[in-house]
Chains A and B, each alone.
Chain A
Amino acid sequence: MTQTPVIDSAVNPPVAAAPAAVDVPMMRLHVKILRFNPETDKKAHWVTYDMEAQPGDRMVDVLNEIKWYKETGLAFRRSCQHGICGSDAMLINGRNRLACKTLVRDVAKDGGTVTVEPIRGLKVEKDLLVDMEPFFDAYRAIMPYFIHPTPFPAKEQYQSEANAEKMAHSSNCILCACCTTSCPIFWVNGSYIGPAALVQAHRFIFDTRDEAKQQRLGVVNQNTGVWRCRTAYNCTEACPRGIPITQLIEEVKREVMFGQS
């Protein structure tokens, strides 16, 4: 049985003292948040919080600090806070980013200002919290689930490395909505399906085991689907997972052109 022995520091002082908290200089920064309370406000307004943070802190740490010690009413989504759940997408310094993958030192200098706004194109419910329903409606429209061949295959369905490579990028998506809410066409047009849903469509269209490719191509081969992409490249710049989204959308366009039966 391996068990870490409990060191009684009084009897056995540790040989090497644990490094004392490294003396990292704190940065002063003004965090300017676009706040909106639906019960009292008619319009969103900026509120600035003077904070201190280490350069290596993440923006989500700063927001947590504000929520826990300064302004408990501040509303924003976060869950895993490690860049996987995709909850804390927000507009930080004018760019869509995940607050948990953004270091303070990358967005502000000592004494500088960081602006935080809700992601655009979706209805703001409170502060940084937006209604994600239109985003997930588009996601549901492309049938984001694997459809197996009928009859159900008796054996495991193998996939070659080369075939897995085709959807390597699109399966990285965490549905944070950074791309869709940075898309100028999504902002102005209520019916565009958006880059995130197209990336998800790509993931299943280019899955060689999936049986519903033609149906999915039918969904994206519409005025509101893949043809509304104007290749603004905002989505590719915004993606916190580094997915080459515009390129994937173009691949879907080619597949509609050549792969329809």
Chain B
Amino acid sequence: MIRARTYTDARTQAHSNAELNWWIFMRVSGLILMFLVLGHVYMTFIQVSESDATYDAVINKLGNPAWKLYDWLILVLALLHGTNGARYVIEDYVRSRPNRAWVKMFFFTLVGLLFAFGTVGLMAVK
């Protein structure tokens, strides 16, 4: 093993299954998302008639807790899956440590905001 000279090196060398778990998560969430999203497309565009595409109909549909859970699952899984994928890309391509920290911090904040707004928006529908 290459000897760790900094705290960051030591931390990366410490035993942790984090990367393994993220790798498994990517596979599992990808598979689930595929069915969730295809199902969503089917239920919103194919199963319903055009006359249902009104504000009231959508609000009515989202009032159903099952729909809320369905949409929220897509929101959470897609955000985590996408964020982790982008983290892979950032760690591959942004080599300077300070830059990497900034890019990640900005990106994770953005994702956190998206998650907050998405959840609030979804749950606000009565």
A residues touching B (Cβ–Cβ < 8 Å)?
A: 137, 140-141, 143, 185, 188-190, 218-219, 221-225, 227-228, 230, 253, 256-257, 260
A222–B95 touching, CB < 8 Å: no
Q: What CA separation (Å) do A170 and B67 show in the bound complex?
A: 50
Q: What CA separation (Å) do A185 and B91 show in the bound complex?
A: 10
Which of the 9-residue segments B19-27, B41-49, B108-116 touches chain A? B19-27
Q: Which residues of B contact A224 (CB under 8 A)?
A: 12
Q: Which residues of B contact A190 (CB under 8 A)?
A: 95
B93–A221 touching, CB < 8 Å: no
Known: A222-B12, A223-B19, A230-B88. A188 touches B2 (CB 8 A): no
Q: Which residues of B contact A230 (CB under 8 A)?
A: 88, 92
- Given A189-B95, A227-B22, 14 new contacts (CB under 8 A): A140-B2, A188-B93, A189-B91, A219-B1, A221-B15, A222-B12, A222-B19, A223-B12, A224-B12, A225-B19, A227-B19, A227-B20, A230-B88, A253-B23
Which residues 1-32 of B sit at the A interface, judged by CB distance below 8 A? 1-2, 12-13, 15, 17, 19-20, 22-24
A189–B92 touching, CB < 8 Å: yes
B24–A257 touching, CB < 8 Å: yes
A257–B20 touching, CB < 8 Å: yes
Q: Which residues of A contact B15 (CB under 8 A)?
A: 218, 221
Known: A219-B1, A223-B12. A185 touches B19 (CB 8 A): no
Q: What CA separation (Å) do A230 and B20 show in the bound complex?
A: 14
User: How many residue pairs at the A-B interface have CB separations less than 8 Å?
Assistant: 41
A142 CB to closest chain B CB (Å) equals 9
Q: What CA separation (Å) do A227 and B2 show in the bound complex?
A: 17
Which residues 76-102 of B sit at the A interface, judged by CB distance below 8 A? 88, 91-93, 95
Q: What CA separation (Å) do A228 and B15 show in the bound complex?
A: 16
Known: A141-B1, A222-B12, A222-B13. A256 touches B92 (CB 8 A): no
Q: What CA separation (Å) do A185 and B15 show in the bound complex?
A: 23
B124 CB to closest chain A CB (Å) equals 39
Known: A137-B2, A141-B1. A221 touches B91 (CB 8 A): no
Q: What CA separation (Å) do A221 and B93 show in the bound complex?
A: 20
A224 CB to closest chain B CB (Å) equals 7
11 example contacts (A-B, Cβ-Cβ < 8 A) are as follows A140-B2, A188-B93, A189-B91, A190-B95, A221-B20, A222-B13, A223-B12, A223-B19, A224-B12, A230-B88, A256-B20
A227–B95 touching, CB < 8 Å: no
B25 CB to closest chain A CB (Å) equals 12
Q: Which residues of B contact A185 (CB under 8 A)?
A: 92
B118 CB to closest chain A CB (Å) equals 28
Q: Which residues of A contact B1 (CB under 8 A)?
A: 141, 143, 219
B95–A141 touching, CB < 8 Å: no
B23–A227 touching, CB < 8 Å: yes
Report the 10 A-B pairs with minimum CB-CB distance, sorted nearest first: A227-B19, A189-B92, A141-B2, A188-B93, A223-B19, A223-B12, A227-B23, A188-B92, A185-B92, A141-B1
Q: What CA separation (Å) do A227 and B92 show in the bound complex?
A: 12
B116 CB to closest chain A CB (Å) equals 28
Q: What CA separation (Å) do A190 and B92 show in the bound complex?
A: 9
A221–B17 touching, CB < 8 Å: yes
Q: Which residues of A contact B88 (CB under 8 A)?
A: 230
